[in-house]
Amino acid sequence: MTRPRGPLRLGVNIDHVATLRNARGGSYPDPFRAARLAEEAGADGITAHLREDRRHIRDSDISTLGSMLSVPLNFEMAATEEMQAIALRTRPHAVCLVPERREERTTEGGLDVAGDAARLKDYIAPLREVGARVSLFIAADPVQVEAAAEIGADVIELHTGAYCDLHAEGRLQERDTEFARLRDMAAKADTLGLEVHAGHGLAYDTVGPVAAIPQIVELNIGHFLIGEAVFRGLKPAIAEMRRLMDEARA
Ligand SMILES: CC(=O)[C@@H](O)[C@H](O)COP(=O)(O)O
Ligand SMILES: NCC(=O)COP(=O)(O)O
């Protein structure tokens, strides 16, 4: 499929500003201030993940973000009834369904769309009816890509965590194999009519090759940017990521 492609969008995930805030139980640092700074630094969207255990983002954060942002909100959530009700109330620009396990430190794998296709097809229908673009956070696996298209998702977000971990561990051959999967699944998804996003664990030293995959139109990046903000400030940290993305895409 040949679709017009604009510049690669950057969604800044502010979950870990909320992690810091919650560490002391007060209101500092303020995720909304981070969202505003991200917009000023060139973010095309804000991503926030309301985990079932509320370890970072809280319900009130989602409703405030829904009303204050001038860029689209990408609301990440598990495919539960509770989260669906919140999304239907908030009506975010996009809902990204992610797998969740209480005990995990972070999102460990992709959603099993193929194994839960009938339920997910019914689950996403009302979200799409209220105007949310439905994205599925999946591993670079052909079975999952095909299932995402079959149930009528608008978007897939390819999980880049394995690629980033293998890079960090110096397992370069395995990293390259995982990268080839990301590249091939982006092309396959595009052919099936799905919009393609990617994210998780991306940093300055891993973003370039992913940003250069032509079918990918959006990257969602959080943890690294919030960490890097400690050293160089949030706006410069985001601006450097933006620069690297644009350089890779040129
Ligand atoms: C789905 C995803 O990749 C992000 O939401 C990421 O999970 C940030 O949140 P955690 O660090 O809590 O996993
Ligand atoms: N969906 C991925 C995301 O929002 C950001 O993940 P991370 O950069 O915080 O690992």
Determine the residue of 13, 49, 100 to mutate for testing ligand 2's pocket, defined as the one with the most ligand atoms within 8 A of the Cβ atom.
13
- 70 contact partners, CB below 8 Å, separation of at least 6: 39
Nearest ligand (C-alpha, residue 102): 1
> Is residue 4 domain-resident?
no
What percentage of the chain exceeds 70 in pLDDT? 98
pLDDT band at 1 (very low <50, low <70, confident <90, very high): very low
Catalytic residue list contains 240: no
> Is residue 136 domain-resident?
yes
> Is residue 13 domain-resident?
no
Q: How far apart are CA 198 and CA 45, in angstroms?
A: 14
* Nearest partner of 76 among 140, 148, 1, 155, judged by Cα: 155
Q: What is the pLDDT of residues 85-102, one digit of tens each?
A: 999 999 999 999 999 987
CATH number, position 108 = 3.20.20.70
Exposed/middle/buried for residue 213 (C-beta within 10 Å: 0-12, 13-18, 19+): buried
Q: What is the mean pLDDT of the chain?
A: 96
Angle at Cα 65 formed by Cα 83 and Cα 29, nearest 5°? 110
The complex's ipTM? 0.96
- Using the atom order of ligand 2, give the atom closest to the CA of residue 47: 4
Residue 108 sits in which domain range?
Answer: 21-249
> Is residue 15 domain-resident?
no
> Is residue 5 domain-resident?
no
Does the beta carbon of 197 sit less than 6 angstroms from any atom of ligand 2?
no
pTM of the model: 0.96
Q: What is the pLDDT of residues 5-22, one digit of tens each?
A: 568 999 999 999 999 999
What is the domain count for the chain?
Answer: 1
Q: What is the pLDDT of residues 103-149, one digit of tens each?
A: 888 888 999 999 999 999 999 999 999 999 999 999 999 999 999 99
